[in-house]
Amino acid sequence: MKRWTIALGLLVAGCATYRPEPLTESPPTLAPPVAAIIARDAAAIERPFLRPAIIDLSQPLDANAVATLAVLLNPDLRAQRQRAGVADAQAFAAGLLPDPTFSFGADQVLSGPDPLLGLASTLGFNLNALRTRRVARAQAEAQARQVRLDLAWAEWQISGQARIQAAKVVELEKAEGLARASRDSAQSILDRMLRAAGRGDILPDQVQAARLAAFDAADRLRTAERDLATARSELSRLMGLPPGYPLRLASVMPSPPAPDAAALFAIAQRERADLQALRAGYAAQEAAVHKAVLDQFPTLDLTINGARDTAGNLTIGPSVAFTLPLWNRNRGGIAVERATRAQLRAEYEARLFQTRAEIAAAVDALTVLRRQREAILRDLPALERFASANRHAADRGDLSLVTAMNAEQAARDKEILLAQAEQGIAEQTIALELLTGVPQEAWTR
């Protein structure tokens, strides 16, 4: 009896236990970031597209720091990492053998000469699981690999989107400053026009034109402020930071021209994690087709039976149970898995086609933006010299101040166009990185 108690205790000790984990009203994702924890995790992070960084949230953050914070703190990525853990657990479960089954029964003699209980027991083994274990495990491992690659792709995409928003914030801050200067200049011109009209020096039409210009400048400033607030809010969301969290961003560094679209597409085919994930998913489906084909053959269950009848006779012997593949033969399952495999092949080829088209469009858009920027840079010095000359002439009294301020406004308008072009180049370059799956430094390796 003591040995049975010890054996039962060991069996219970090896079982998993239940421990509740209730939801909380204030999860860690809602709390402000802890600088020491961020600095520790950022220094130890290992991603092919990130460099270990020393992050100080009180200092301007460069593109690498922005991407690192997004990978570390974004709540969607945290949830996806937990889903990857589920896939790993499923791969582990697929490699486990099924437990044997055991049954026991006793029959009491109600009438007759035999004095004993009739006892019967069976020990069963599912041999079909042994036959399909290898392909089931290969399928689960490929699915887990696909989930991991999907996670890597999500990290790459979200970190890139955060970099795009950071570049947008930097350029919108410039545009807001220029729009504010334009608003102040237009309002100053309007005030001068109103005073001149009060003296009878100018016509009402000139005042109306100045008033419309001031209204337009104020509206452009409001638009710039709204766009900047939206970009900052989106950046905080992508980086996993509380709304309104103060951030300082470093200036965006100019990027070199991109290679041709064909070379970038070749890089994308080799490096993009989503394409690798689709290939892993296709490998998992190949295993599913293989398993479906194996399932058409008879399933086999082996049972060992032991019994004692009421007369005291002891018997032991095996029994085998199997299906007869006469009508079904898992033909439906095989058809479903083969159709799914064909679907995955078509989806992979469609993703390749889409990738090639998007890379070509991004390269063309980047080329157009660079030409626009070069044209603006050619025209801007002349406008600045003209505005400076007008300002000097107005200071000497040789030219009206309104004319000089209009010339300065023309130069500011060109600077706004330059900021918009540089913002477009920065965003399009990062978008092209996202399409190829690697940072631009890897394009020329």
Per-residue pLDDT of 403-439, as tens digits, reads 888 888 888 888 888 888 888 888 899 889 989 988 8
Local confidence band at 356 (pLDDT 50, 70, 90 cut-offs): very high
What is the rounded radius of gyration, in angstroms, for the C-alpha atoms of the chain?
Answer: 36
Q: Which strand (E) or helix (H) includes residue 335?
A: helix 331-396
Retrieve residue 288's tokens: 């599913």
For residues 275 and 269, is the Cβ–Cβ distance under 8 A?
yes
Mean pLDDT of 367-389: 89
HEC string for 204-234: HHHHHHHHHHHHHHHHHHHHHHHHHHHHHHH
Per-residue pLDDT tens over the stretch 43-98: 778 888 888 777 888 888 888 889 888 988 888 888 888 887 777 777 777 777 77
Local confidence band at 18 (pLDDT 50, 70, 90 cut-offs): low
Amino acid at 137: R
In CATH terms, the fold of domain 58-442 is Outer membrane efflux proteins (OEP) (1.20.1600)
pLDDT surpassing 90 at residue 230: yes
Task: Please give the model's pTM, rounded to 2 decimal places.
Answer: 0.77
Strands 118-126 and 300-308: antiparallel
Q: What is the pLDDT of residue 45?
A: 80
If you average pLDDT over each of 54-63, 234-243, 320-329, which comes out highest? 234-243
Mean pLDDT of 111-139: 77
Mean pLDDT of 18-39: 72
pLDDT surpassing 60 at residue 10: no
Per-residue pLDDT tens over the stretch 155-165: 889 999 999 99
If you average pLDDT over each of 164-173, 193-202, 256-265, which comes out highest? 164-173
Per the listing, tokens 């898995």 go with 337
Q: How far apart are CA 10 and CA 4, in angstroms?
A: 10
Q: Which strand (E) or helix (H) includes residue 389?
A: helix 331-396
Mean pLDDT for all residues in the chain: 82
Mean pLDDT of 259-280: 89
pLDDT surpassing 90 at residue 143: no
Per the listing, tokens 């100045």 go with 210
Compare 35 and 210 and report the one with higher pLDDT: 210
Q: How far apart are CA 165 and CA 331, in angstroms?
A: 52
Q: Which strand (E) or helix (H) includes residue 245?
A: none
